[in-house]
Structure 1
């Protein structure tokens, strides 16, 4: 365990509204504009192959040649069809061929809106079938642009039946204003839903997990529920028509409800994980669902888990896993070939010197009970941070661009985890999206000979440096290069038997948000990588130049291992376009947000990864900035605003309109994906 760890509980920021960015001309209730409700608490914040259709021998024989000959197959594929071409299709229409649409789906089809935090999972019965998801903001302008962004942020449902070459985009049913026949099957009660996770069982069923918040009535309540949506093959379980697996929606179950306190206080659930047992053994078909629960306004957190033994229709009472540790987040569920269940998480430091690293618990009875917590591995984590110096918009705004978001702003002088303009300004002058150490874990459910858990995380690498500014990743003014690490944990012995090792030891560039898949005897890993960032420095954020301008810096790299992690192939660049993740598309076009994770899925030599991408974003200028700020418009996005003046008894008032051209590309953030080694 290295020195200079950070107390992540400091990143819990109580809601504050000292710097309003809107002027209420019509005496409407002021709705504070924030970033996404769905992801408030950040990581560290703070038997063989009987149903696959190919033999185990064929998988093994294909692995070596597939890995050796892999080349990315450009172009990358877009999962989110909100660009006026293919559009969004209702889940009801997808499954039944009966027509249905509504204002939200119509808006999604033309929105060129925002999506982040992708999820992806391959059908274990048919690798041509992939299901994806994200936090999908495509419907926020469903009442028309003059009404503002009052529509839902919701879980996307993206489907490919050709191995990811093309995608159909939809939404999980149950969103506000959904009046399809499927709507009544959902228990979801919120205005927003996010943090998507996906798992398949071995019988054609898929499960989408979510954390959901926001009161449809528009109050400050943040419900903090967690739920699981169910999909199946309409021809029945184990149907031979595997191309229809996971096609028919048949309900959503709320697994745990928050306390509905305002502004993310009270009992609030966050950051979900889901897995299903597809081993064909004693626990086959069980669905396991985990999340972090935060209580009160001090950021106290614990990890909870629930299981379903009836294919996601009902779930057990939540079981607390972390009675001996605190400051925890980012649960991840792994099921080994013998049906044992492992839950890992990130744990930060505390005043009692708790080890910073990855924690783990184990169940040997199909998730009914779990053993005591233990530290799987320690690390020196990181969290991008700066000193907040919020400023009002010189001329206020009449209508918020993001009224449904509710994250809370940092008071002047406090720590901020992302930086931009106006209320999101920071002392260093940099513009950057939030990121912090994040752990993902998995197991090979078809490996009956080992009880290995494969773990990846991004953490600090190399010396801790003075940044010369208030920006840091260890503390304000202190930063280090960040890199993706791999560990193999032997659940049978309770010890790490490989690692920690770097997935790709690079002298230049930050690495972030790694993920790993393992089913079918081949490991696949990928991550964000900035080795080609023209302004890279270990003391600055992704894509941030010394003069405070921003540049494209984000690529995705991937590698694979055919010997259980003992060695890894030379990483390959997957993205065909490098992205600028620092575009200010959130909190009234004032701050960037790229989500908190990327996702990869695989079976044998096949793998597919998904990431948040900004290649379609249209850069522009922000007319509210007068004069232009340090980023010299390199982080600004296309937006159209009018400056209006009214005369009242109290004098003359001027104010900016909301963004009048949100469909023109300024907020066009998307989910892209591709096959990986």
Structure 2
């Protein structure tokens, strides 16, 4: 799952005031985020008030960009013919007019349900200026992603200023749906036992941790053991919240005390109960600029979260800065995705350069001993291009599905999404297939690709029919506007 830069919120009152009440279907309870004081910030580190101010400004900029596009007639995504590769339906946008960012997706392994969450920066909210903006929109498919129901609010959450970083998972043995997200500065958990029609009241998972960000959710096959990795104060230290009663009560463990900012991006629970999270460690210097190298870790517990090992998988160089409108200079580096198959074998994908400021490559490694040791890395993306934002999922024995984004002709205004799979646990991979196959109809679409990745998180899932379904964001720039797109195998 991937996931999130600049994702904590302090929405300014002028932003909230523009929202009008809406009439979408609402599912779930409400909860005002408990007050929390931002942690003390280290020199050069991101977090607390710094990110809050940035996010408030970014939200206003996205609303302004959306209004300009609407006024000039460039907002709506028009129907355009897809040119899907063999075996794919063709990509579709989930809303032709909304500004949607950083989606999450999960599929029921035993039934045709698929669930998609996106962060929507444009109203209507659930209750005007009393409900969050941005908010999480939920879509449900009962036929493996072929068709989708109406937009729903994941949680009206009155009194919350903004929602960010959605995570969603399906419990393998029961079909229950679990979700985690941020209400303002605070990570919460909710679940549904009726195929996402109704949701439990969100429960805070962060205990006494005063500031938290960027949650990553994973769950055991029976649904009892739930783990959420997140960043806490003071400058991005990694925490893991865990529940062993299906999300009713929570404890928190700080994994590392570091001067580096450590981003959680993905996680999984192996059949034997081992828990793994893929995380990347970045060091910020003055003015929030990255310095040094990107350290790729797998955090692992073999005793139900009582203790954790920190296993360094690779050290890579920091790639180029993002120069798109509104883009922070740490947008491109530092993503890592991980998955476990039915035998407990692991595959980790991550991006990184071989020389400082050089184009990044998407790398793959595999482990056949539960993450104790790792194979040598192999490149999945094309040499000479910028490869970024990988996502991966698996099922059965060695059946691995992955996508990543890549520039076209080393042009940072022409990105595409490429899909590869493996039938032997990541030892070998199929040839890449382009699944971002619509080349017109949106202001950010060209025959060469889309202008900018819209969010550094997206996901891939495998339906009960064994088909891949993938989601990601595309946009005009980091500021937007943009949309969430979906493609699926047929």
Match of 1:12 in 2: 46
Q: Secondary structure at the match of 1:457?
A: strand
Match of 1:518 in 2: 394
CA contact (8 A) 1:602 1:608 kept: yes
Q: Secondary structure at the match of 2:381?
A: coil
User: Alpha carbons of 1:502 and 1:287: their partners in 2 closer, same or farther (altered >3 Å)?
Assistant: same
Report the Cα distance in structure 1 between the residues aligned to 2:57 and 2:441, rounded to whole angstroms: 21
Match of 1:62 in 2: none
User: Alpha carbons of 1:512 and 1:607: their partners in 2 closer, same or farther (altered >3 Å)?
Assistant: same
Q: Secondary structure at the match of 1:34?
A: helix
Of 298, 303, 306, which aligns to 1:365? 303
Q: How does 1:614-653 map to 2 (within 5 A)?
A: 614=475
Q: Does 1:671 align with 2:484?
A: yes
Of 601, 612, 617, which aligns to 2:461? 601
Q: Does 1:247 align with 2:197?
A: yes
Of 362, 366, 378, which aligns to 1:501? 378
Task: String of CA shifts for 1:608-639, please: whole Å, max 9, x gaps.
Answer: 1101134xx7xxxxxxxxxxxxxxxxx799xx
User: Alpha carbons of 1:349 and 1:192: their partners in 2 closer, same or farther (altered >3 Å)?
Assistant: closer
Tell me how far 1:324 sits from its aligned partner: 6.1
Match of 1:327 in 2: 261
Match of 1:546 in 2: none
Report the Cα distance in structure 1 between the residues aligned to 2:352 and 2:152, rounded to whole angstroms: 35
Q: How does 1:85-96 map to 2 (within 5 A)?
A: none
What TM-score, normalized to structure 2?
Answer: 0.73
Q: Does 1:441 align with 2:334?
A: no
Q: Does 1:569 align with 2:438?
A: no
**Size of the alignment, in residue pairs?**
410
User: Alpha carbons of 1:383 and 1:206: their partners in 2 closer, same or farther (altered >3 Å)?
Assistant: farther
Q: Secondary structure at the match of 1:514?
A: strand
Q: How does 1:246-265 map to 2 (within 5 A)?
A: 246-256=196-206
CA contact (8 A) 1:361 1:370 kept: no
| Stretches of structure 1 lacking an aligned partner (at least 5 in a row) | 1-7, 18-29, 38-68, 84-111, 177-188, 214-223, 234-244, 260-266, 386-417, 427-431, 465-473, 544-552, 584-590, 618-634, 638-666
Report the Cα distance in structure 1 between the residues aligned to 2:250 and 2:126, rounded to whole angstroms: 37
The structure with more radius of gyration: 1
Report the Cα distance in structure 2 between the residues aligned to 1:225 and 1:77, rounded to whole angstroms: 32
Match of 1:270 in 2: 213
User: Alpha carbons of 1:344 and 1:138: their partners in 2 closer, same or farther (altered >3 Å)?
Assistant: same
Match of 1:209 in 2: 180
Task: String of CA shifts for 1:404-437, please: whole Å, max 9, x gaps.
Answer: xxxxxxxxxxxxxx553xxx599xxxxx993322
Tell me how far 1:301 sits from its aligned partner: 1.9
Q: Secondary structure at the match of 1:379?
A: strand
Report the Cα distance in structure 1 between the residues aligned to 2:348 and 2:453, rounded to whole angstroms: 25
Please give the root-mean-square deviation of Cα atoms over the aligned residues, in Å.
Answer: 3.8
Report the Cα distance in structure 1 between the residues aligned to 2:49 and 2:440, rounded to whole angstroms: 31
Tell me how far 1:309 sits from its aligned partner: 2.4
Tell me how far 1:193 sits from its aligned partner: 0.8
Tell me how far 1:373 sits from its aligned partner: 2.0
Tell me how far 1:492 sits from its aligned partner: 4.4
Match of 2:239 in 1: 304
User: Alpha carbons of 1:119 and 1:378: their partners in 2 closer, same or farther (altered >3 Å)?
Assistant: same
Task: String of CA shifts for 1:195-241, please: whole Å, max 9, x gaps.
Answer: 1111111202111111221xxxxxxxxxx1001121112xxxxxxxx
CA contact (8 A) 1:433 1:582 kept: no
Q: Does 1:610 align with 2:423?
A: no
Q: Does 1:77 align with 2:20?
A: no
Task: String of CA shifts for 1:230-284, please: whole Å, max 9, x gaps.
Answer: 1112xxxxxxxxxxx343323311112688xxxxxxx421111111111x5xxx5
